[in-house]
Amino acid sequence: MTSMTSYAYKEVSTERMFISVEIKSVNSRFLDLNIALPPFLGRLEQDIRARCANRMLRGKVDVYIRVKDFSPDTKVDVDLQAAKNYAEALKKIAEISSPGCEIPLSLIASQEGVLSVRQNCDADMYRSFIEPVFADALEEFCAGRKREGENLKKDILFQLSSLESCALIFKQAVPEAEAFFKNLIVSRFNELLGDKADEQRIMSETAAMLVKYTINEEVVRLFSHLEALKAEIEHNEAPGRKIDFLCQELNREINTIGSKNQTAKLGKTVIDAKNALENIREQSRNIE
């Protein structure tokens, strides 16, 4: 079981360049990959995207790769006209909000298009520097998802155990509920008809009442869904969607049991079961 949330950061600094790789993810119904690379390394995106997609199935994943090249081959171009235009625009703003304020040179230089860096576009050379850093970050990221997934699995199994305990109480209550309804009908017939109560009529009414209020079928389906849920948790590496589906089925059975309930004991058990189920559903939203 793997969590959809994780974070990893790796960086390497040499005399030639500085490289950092940051990977983070949050929950998502599908795999949503966002790869942010320096413009001159765009050709590396497809390979990075494929390697990420090979290691994860769901989640909104952001990958940021930053490169600072200290090589003397790096050239910086200045667009003087763009700098002049920005300076004039910023000066007009300053005259309105802060008359006499000096416009910092750094503010003008940081505007888009004023400075542009021409890098050595040897993608294979950059790949050789980036590859080990990205590989380390990806391994750390996936290991974090796995660790968190194991923690989620433990919690889900704990909640599942609580849900199974509730199901056992429901099962034990089936004969008690049937006896309760039978005695209720007999007592009402006796109150109304006394010795004239027809045994055949009593049996017929009891059967009709049991069809309406017995929870036996719901309990059978409840145990079946619980077995399927446990199998998904134990054996499926990416059970998130299947767990969500089974939780919907379990919720339906528990709601039906609650609507048929006539005793305070079962009412409390229904609440406990719904609480455990809601915790499972909440955790399932975090796993692949």
Same domain (yes/no): 104, 152: no
Mean pLDDT of the chain: 86
Question: Which of the listed ranges 103-117, 164-178, 180-194 does the model predict with the highest average pLDDT?
Answer: 164-178
239 is in which domain, residue-wise? 148-284
Indicate which CATH number applies to the domain containing 22.
3.30.230
Q: Please say if the pLDDT value at position 188 is more than 80.
A: no
pLDDT digits 0-9 by tens, 28-69:
989 999 999 988 788 889 999 999 999 999 999 999 999 887
Side by side, the strands of the sheet bearing 17-26 are 6-13, 17-26, 59-69, 31-36
Place of tokens 């767990």: 243
Give CA angle at 48 (153, 2), nearest 5°: 0
Q: What is the pLDDT of residue 191?
A: 65
The pLDDT of residue 193 is: 61
Looking at the structure, do residues 225 and 203 belong to the same domain, yes or no? yes
Domain co-membership, 201 together with 247: yes
pTM of the model: 0.71
**39 within domain boundaries:** yes
Measure the N-to-C terminal CA separation of the chain; round to a whole number of Å.
7
- Coil, helix or strand at residue 65: strand
Burial profile 83-118: b = 16 or more Cβ within 10 angstroms, e = fewer = beebbeebeeeeeeeeeeeeeeeeebeebeebeeee
More confident residue, 123 or 38: 38
Q: Which of 67, 64, 65 is nearest to 17 (CA)?
A: 67
Residue 81 CB neighbours (<10 A): 10
Q: What is the pLDDT of residues 59-118, one digit of tens each?
A: 999 999 998 877 656 677 888 888 888 888 888 888 887 777 778 888 888 888 888 766
1 part of a folded domain: no
Residue 22's closest CA among 36, 39, 9, 4?
9
Number of domains in the chain: 3
Which residue do the tokens 């003087």 mark?
Answer: 80
Same domain, 237 and 176: yes
